[in-house]
Structure 1
Amino acid sequence: MTDTHTLEDLDLTRIHLLGIGGAGQNALADLLVDMGYSLSGSDLKLSATTEALARRGVTVYEGQRAENLNNVTVVVTTAAANENNPEIQEARRKGLPVLQNAEMVGLLLNQKRLLSVAGTHGKTTTTGLVAFLLEKAGLDPTFYIGGVSTDLGVAGKAGKGEYAALESDEYARRFLNYRPEAAVITNVEPDHLDYYGTWEALQAAFATFAGNIRPGGQLYICADDAGAVALKETAQTGAEIFTYGLGPADWQATEVQPNAKGGHDFSLKFRGDVLGTVELGLAGVHNVRNATGALAMVLTAAPQVTPEIFIKLAGQYRGTARRFELKGEAEGVTVIDDYAHHPTEIRATLAAARARFGPRRLVALFQPHTYTRTKALVDEFAGAFDEADLVALMEIFPARETDTLGVSTGDILDRMGHGGKLAEPLTHANAASTLNALMREGDVLLTLGAGDVWKVGEQVLKARAGKQGL
């Protein structure tokens, strides 16, 4: 993807972000505020995210209207907004530059020593760990994460150091705006086929991303994932390629054992040499892989920091919002929220919950995300809940889509052989009350999905704590 703008040819006097409450725009807003830019933004509804930005001096509008662009010189939008949006129409009428989020991020960060993380799953957690390691090692990095870091308190930051950590999203080929010095590819699986159309087109985009790594840079691919490994053959890259994972790899996690923190201890090795023991607090063996990739990239990129320091810091990392996030406990019920919206992610999250909570009853509430993903993966979704004891599904969260493609949550339920499933889809009107009637002391409720299913978990907690009736 060819950049159509440079920072030099843009008048950045006043930047306006459409959908400023979304994860990507929120992270960009944090970056721009740190850089000293004057900033405004709009969203359909105000939220805790927009309120936090307002406290930082950002002008935030509820609703999207032409008059929100008074005195604006550049508009940054996302794939969720189309040309019928009144703010985009006004920007076109005024002749203002309209950039996609990823294009602006690339303009800001490509000048740094850019450490990128891409992949179908695990991007946010892995990028968050890269940013955390650099920050806590005193390197004052810039970072852009697709979720708020639990430890750092923000999703984006403009540091004074030479490094930048960047979550690189494959949707709409966004990650082709970036020119990293090094990149981790966690895995490559079919997803976003509403945009790519075919699995082969998605694979080709990842190969192009790998080819965009600067000559002499490094590419770290997960040896445990067939889709990532295939890039060794298809990527036309001048980068040195390393593998990482739990199986045979250049960077390997071995002797993986559950620990008292609810995560795993493991021995980190580089080509057979033991570098130290990581005491990871994140739940799930999949996060051992994520941590191995993050450590491999950071240890290579920042050799001025000893492996001992980075390995110790990795054990202090608590993750990011909506990634196996403990929302609370009430009347003996624990609520965990996770962004898992792909069958692989659901299986990994439920496996992590089983490892952490043992024989406690796991209640999974899943909200499918987009009609295209549901239609493409309906059979895989139906078989993704084996670790759960009770399964409930909500109606599909459409996100940017309007065409239902004739698919519904009922299609998943019809194919699901799980003996503990609720037969009918739930809605926000009845989900919390239905689950509260079924749950008992000791249960663990997992709200799963990329939409607004997290609201149900909060309603359950409030009701059980006696703060709100249902």
Structure 2
Amino acid sequence: MNETKNSIYFIGIGGIGMSALARYFNHAGWRVAGYDRTPSPLTAALEAEGIAVHYEDSVDRIPEAFRNRAETRVIYTPAVPADHAELYWFRAQGFEVLKRSQMLGLLGEGRRVMAVAGTHGKTTTTTMVAHFNAVAAGEGSAFLGGISKNFDSNLVLGTGVRMAVEADEFDRSFLQLHPQAAVITSVDPDHLDIYGTYEAVREAFAQFASQVVPDGTLILKHGVSLPLERADIWRYTYHVTDSGADFHAENLSVDGGGYYTFDLVFPDRRIDRCRLGIPGLVNVENCVAAAALVWSEGFTSNDALREAIATFRGVQRRFDFWVNDPSVAGGTIYMDDYAHHPAELRAMLTSVRKMFPERELTVIFQPHLYTRTRDFAPEFAEALSLADRVWLLPIYPARELPIPGVASEMILEGIASPQKKLITKEQLLTEVGALETGGVLVTAGAGDIDRFCAPVADLVRRKNRDLYGCTEKA
């Protein structure tokens, strides 16, 4: 990096990964500003930290301090369109313009990069790695794809050379990384608008795995197969319960709130009676993966890792319980999740079913992207059929234009549950208000459905309180 430059301008600064980089450079004393399409809690937080953000794609809005190409570097997210006016102007003026993934790769130089890749599960697993590093190893920074509840941020600034990163397969971004240690949680077909075929997805993950440095460590989910030949790295597998994996859990038990206690098995040791600080069997699997990655880089003691597991508080929008009071048997439980791929939905809903087998399960799902809906409508319908009741919102387009004939109805018609319907955002709270108390309510999706979490939670709490005297708060 050219250290004569002291200003960084972000195009798409409100994205979860972009905002972490913006925070990093702002904390390091660089001049930071940027554009995003719409205001959000993340952009509000950036502005509160002293970063100038505007919401109009206009060259005139670029601050004067960021118009000197000798002093300014531009970082953009591939989610912005190619015809973005500001991005076009910076390129035309000869500025140094980098993708977010390229900058993350540069920041990893000289550090021990601990990367978590996978088509689902990577955000929670990476955040666990960051927390386990801090508590069990006493060091480490991190760039996260979600807001950690332990750190109250998507950026962790710690001592030492460890750097935990979420390795994103979108646009092949993770190929900018050369980690010392890596976990791959899953390799499912996704982002086919980018890759074209599932085989191309597998090839990209194999290339990422091949970029682990010599004498580094690769840890694969048990059952994941990649075309990879490397004799100069350490290779392991993990699984939530399969004893054939190098890392796994044994003697699992679950309490009424869905919190698991288990023994954690490593190749060289065993840590008994671990209790994960967040509920759900899917999170036990994430815990095994994170613990395996931290094991590969070392930690201080078994007791320290046990403490780290117990004190992990989770990630916003990942298996995120807003209302959950097991002592009130008749109250509704409300959870929100970022799941936006059929495999994620299936894993999340299966875990919820196991936690609350006697309760009626209602899911409000917002499909994300027209291409993903087109490519996986039957798989979405199959996963959502695990619920007793399904309400579908219109597709959240994100970076895409509508595709003729592609709509939420494509998913709806394949859902097995007879209690299914399309609703609008304007109807959502009314429908929740009319829902019979006592079941489990889940909102899911990667769009803007999270804007409803707080009002839905308030509504559920009021109904619980009015009927059962429940005073539980998030």
Tell me if both proteins adopt one fold, taking TM over 0.5 as the criterion. yes
Residue deviations 1:105-133 (CA, integer Å, cap 9, x gap): 11112321110000111000000000001
1:192 paired to 2:206: no
Measure, in 1, the Cα distance between the counterparts of 2:108 and 2:25: 11
Give the number of aligned pairs.
Answer: 451
1:62 paired to 2:61: no
Structure 1 residue matching 2:410: 3-state secondary structure: helix
Instruction: In structure 2, give the amino acid aligned to 1:118.
Output: A
Alpha carbons 2:261, 2:275 under 8 Å: kept: yes
Q: 1:455 to 1:271 in 2, by over 3 A?
A: same
1:430 paired to 2:424: no
Measure, in 1, the Cα distance between the counterparts of 2:32 and 2:24: 11
Measure, in 2, the Cα distance between the counterparts of 1:364 and 1:40: 38
Correspondent of 2:278 among 270, 279, 282: 282
Instruction: In structure 2, give the amino acid aligned to 1:356.
Output: M
Alpha carbons 2:385, 2:416 under 8 Å: kept: no
In the alignment, what sits opposite 1:32?
Answer: 25
Q: 1:237 to 1:363 in 2, by over 3 A?
A: farther
Query: Pairwise mapping of residues 61-210 of structure 1 onto structure 2 (< 5 A)?
Result: 61-67=54-60, 68-72=62-66, 73-137=72-136, 139-210=138-209
Alpha carbons 1:171, 1:195 under 8 Å: kept: yes
Alpha carbons 1:207, 1:236 under 8 Å: kept: no
Alpha carbons 1:364, 1:388 under 8 Å: kept: yes
In the alignment, what sits opposite 1:318?
Answer: 313
Measure, in 2, the Cα distance between the counterparts of 1:11 and 1:171: 31
Structure 1 window deviating more from structure 2 (23-32 vs 367-376): it is 23-32
Q: 1:19 to 1:328 in 2, by over 3 A?
A: farther
Instruction: In structure 1, give the amino acid aligned to 2:235.
Output: I
Alpha carbons 2:123, 2:146 under 8 Å: kept: yes
1:338 paired to 2:354: no
Measure, in 2, the Cα distance between the counterparts of 1:237 and 1:78: 35
Measure, in 2, the Cα distance between the counterparts of 1:159 and 1:97: 29
Measure, in 2, the Cα distance between the counterparts of 1:436 and 1:237: 59
Measure, in 1, the Cα distance between the counterparts of 2:116 and 2:137: 21
In the alignment, what sits opposite 1:51?
Answer: 44
Q: 1:328 to 1:360 in 2, by over 3 A?
A: same
Instruction: In structure 1, give the amino acid aligned to 2:312.
Output: Y
Residue deviations 1:261-294 (CA, integer Å, cap 9, x gap): 5221111112384233321133322222211111
Structure 1 window deviating more from structure 2 (456-465 vs 90-99): it is 456-465
Deviation at 1:202, TM superposition (A): 0.5
1:449 paired to 2:442: no
Structure 2 residue matching 1:416: 3-state secondary structure: coil
Measure, in 1, the Cα distance between the counterparts of 2:444 and 2:86: 33
In the alignment, what sits opposite 2:250?
Answer: 254
Deviation at 1:171, TM superposition (A): 0.7
Instruction: In structure 1, give the amino acid aligned to 2:423.
Output: L
Q: 1:409 to 1:145 in 2, by over 3 A?
A: same
Q: 1:457 to 1:321 in 2, by over 3 A?
A: closer
Residue deviations 1:26-66 (CA, integer Å, cap 9, x gap): 12122222322221122122222112112222112232321
Correspondent of 1:18 among 8, 11, 27: 11
Alpha carbons 1:184, 1:297 under 8 Å: kept: yes
Q: Which runs of 5+ in 1 are unaligned?
A: 1-6
Deviation at 1:22, TM superposition (A): 1.4
Q: 1:461 to 1:263 in 2, by over 3 A?
A: closer
Measure, in 1, the Cα distance between the counterparts of 2:109 and 2:174: 12
Deviation at 1:403, TM superposition (A): 4.0
Structure 2 residue matching 1:256: 3-state secondary structure: strand
Alpha carbons 1:27, 1:156 under 8 Å: kept: yes
Alpha carbons 2:81, 2:399 under 8 Å: kept: no
In the alignment, what sits opposite 2:472?
Answer: none
Measure, in 2, the Cα distance between the counterparts of 1:113 and 1:355: 38
Residue deviations 1:158-189 (CA, integer Å, cap 9, x gap): 33311110000001100000110000001111
Deviation at 1:360, TM superposition (A): 2.5
In the alignment, what sits opposite 2:232?
Answer: 238
Q: 1:235 to 1:402 in 2, by over 3 A?
A: farther
Q: Which runs of 5+ in 2 are unaligned?
A: 67-71, 464-474
Structure 1 residue matching 2:420: 3-state secondary structure: coil
Instruction: In structure 2, give the amino acid aligned to 1:196.
Output: Y
1:409 paired to 2:408: yes
Measure, in 2, the Cα distance between the counterparts of 1:105 and 1:325: 27
Alpha carbons 1:326, 1:336 under 8 Å: kept: yes
Alpha carbons 2:140, 2:159 under 8 Å: kept: yes
Supply the RMSD in Å over aligned alpha carbons.
Answer: 2.2
Q: 1:235 to 1:375 in 2, by over 3 A?
A: farther
Deviation at 1:138, TM superposition (A): 5.9
Structure 1 window deviating more from structure 2 (330-339 vs 163-172): it is 330-339
What's the TM-score once normalised by structure 1's chain length? 0.91
Structure 1 residue matching 2:183: 3-state secondary structure: strand
Deviation at 1:83, TM superposition (A): 2.9
In the alignment, what sits opposite 1:309?
Answer: 304
Structure 2 residue matching 1:74: 3-state secondary structure: strand
Alpha carbons 2:140, 2:157 under 8 Å: kept: yes
Q: 1:265 to 1:462 in 2, by over 3 A?
A: closer
Q: 1:277 to 1:332 in 2, by over 3 A?
A: closer
Query: Pairwise mapping of residues 330-409 of structure 1 onto structure 2 (< 5 A)?
Result: 332-404=331-403, 406-409=405-408
In the alignment, what sits opposite 1:4?
Answer: none
Measure, in 1, the Cα distance between the counterparts of 2:122 and 2:172: 15
Deviation at 1:321, TM superposition (A): 0.8
Alpha carbons 2:323, 2:461 under 8 Å: kept: no
Structure 2 residue matching 1:415: 3-state secondary structure: coil
Alpha carbons 1:337, 1:448 under 8 Å: kept: yes
Alpha carbons 2:130, 2:156 under 8 Å: kept: no
Alpha carbons 1:256, 1:264 under 8 Å: kept: yes
Alpha carbons 1:283, 1:352 under 8 Å: kept: no
Structure 1 window deviating more from structure 2 (392-401 vs 39-48): it is 39-48
Deviation at 1:260, TM superposition (A): 5.5
